[in-house]
Amino acid sequence: MNNDYDKIIKQCLEGIAGMEEGEIEKNVTEYVYDIKNKDMENKPEVIKRVMNAITGYGILQPLMEKEGITEIMVNADRIFYEEKGIIHRYDISFTKQDIDKLISILCRKTDRTVNMANPILDGSIGHDIRVNIILEPISHNGHSITVRRFPEKQITYEDMIRDGFFTKEISDFLDNAVKERLNIFICGGAGCGKTTLLNILTGFVPNSERVITIEDSVELMIDRIDNIIRLTCRNPNNEGKGEISMDSLIRASLRMRPDRIIVGEIRGKEALYMLQAMNTGHIGSISTGHANSCKDAFSRIETMVLMECDMPFLAIRKQIYDAIDIVISLQRIDGKRVLTEIVQVTEFEDGEIKTECLFTYDIESGKHIKVGEATRRRK
């Protein structure tokens, strides 16, 4: 029967170029019902499977249709998914052919290519799905696929307060920090809410400002700022040409008269250009990065700057001190995303960046505690 599905899918793909999804389903339905095959009794199920393979997500379709699932992980011959902070195994039988078809589907939807010459794919589908694929043998046990789903409905700060991510007091503080044009850096591990919080903070930006956003793939959901330019990186093609890197986009954005620059996530040498942007009049800028704590964020940025230039540590730290006003740390605790700390940068003394903690999170009580008063200001 699998061969029949493959033939049907191939025939349908040849005839649907340029069609809208409604037209595709109509043509697939007509094609399947015209097939004379006594073994094909449940034609509605055949249509569903063919549509999933063409416009859906193949074997992952049931998970993609279910609300509350934030991450889907394919580890060669096993599938796991995360729902409400808990990871479950997806009990389904599938073949290597199913995985190959899924990879083809994801390549088509992300408009990216993955093959033995380029075995790693990072891409996005719309603004609410991020895809990572690593092929065998780079992924030793078999092809690895990770699909991260962001909520279709934008999460509000009220949602974050209700879920215990932060408090109304912290939300008001961050709103004020954005409006006072403080430069903010958000840090944390994977899946702890950095992009979600970045969306929240961007929502506090006055509509009168010109904003440039720079992302590796489109994830930010911004619909209330009129004067906005959204820039996205591009991977090189199969010949290794055509790459548009994040550092080149940050440099280009400085010539676009931004009031603020929002950088989705820094991972490497672009950190230097982000600091330079924050230090050259583009105050109120915001970025994110991977770090385990607010203190760790500074050393991570130092390391990333050194990827681009051989600058003395003292000079790098002084740039960080001059550029960043507020650092926010996020964590996952028992499957729950939580803002765990906010610090303000206060002094640069003996070559070290000094900070003061403003808010912290007490794990035992599960409560946020205010422990300091903000003093740093931007003019």
- 24 or 201: which leads in pLDDT: 201
Residues 321-361 have pLDDT tens digits of 999 999 999 999 988 899 999 999 999 999 999 999 999 99
What pLDDT score was predicted for residue 218? 79
Q: Name, in order, each residue with C-beta under 8 angstroms of 56's C-beta and a sequence gap of 6 or more.
A: 64, 105
pLDDT tens digits, 221-272: 887 899 999 999 887 776 778 889 999 999 999 999 999 999 988 999 999 9
Average pLDDT over residues 203-218: 91
Predicted confidence band at 79 (pLDDT cuts at 50, 70, 90)? very high
Q: Which of 156, 188, 155, 203 is nearest to 342 (CA)?
A: 188
Place of tokens 């990827």: 307
> Among the residues of 16-95, which ranges form H helices?
21-34, 43-54, 61-65
99 φ/ψ angles, rounded to the nearest 5 degrees: -65, -45
- Tell me whether residue 52 is exposed, middle or buried, using C-beta atoms within 10 angstroms of its C-beta: 0 to 12, 13 to 18, 19 or more: buried
Report CA torsion sign: 18, 239, 247, 114.
positive
Mean pLDDT of 73-101: 89
The CATH class for the domain spanning 157-370 reads: alpha beta
pTM attached to this predicted model: 0.79
| φ, ψ of residue 98 in degrees (nearest 5) | -60, -40
Q: What DSSP character marks residue 156?
A: P
- Could you read off the pLDDT of 18-63 as tens digits, one per residue? 556 567 667 777 767 776 655 556 677 777 766 766 667 888 988 9
Residue given tokens 């696929």 in the structure block:
145
| Backbone phi and psi for residue 113, each to the nearest 5 degrees, phi listed first | -120, 140
Residue whose structure tokens are 């003395």: 312
Domain 62-152: which CATH number of 3.40.50.1100, 3.40.50.300, 3.30.450.370, 3.30.420.40: 3.30.450.370
Structure-token match 């803002």, residue found: 339
Q: What is the mean pLDDT of the chain?
A: 87
pLDDT at 3: 57
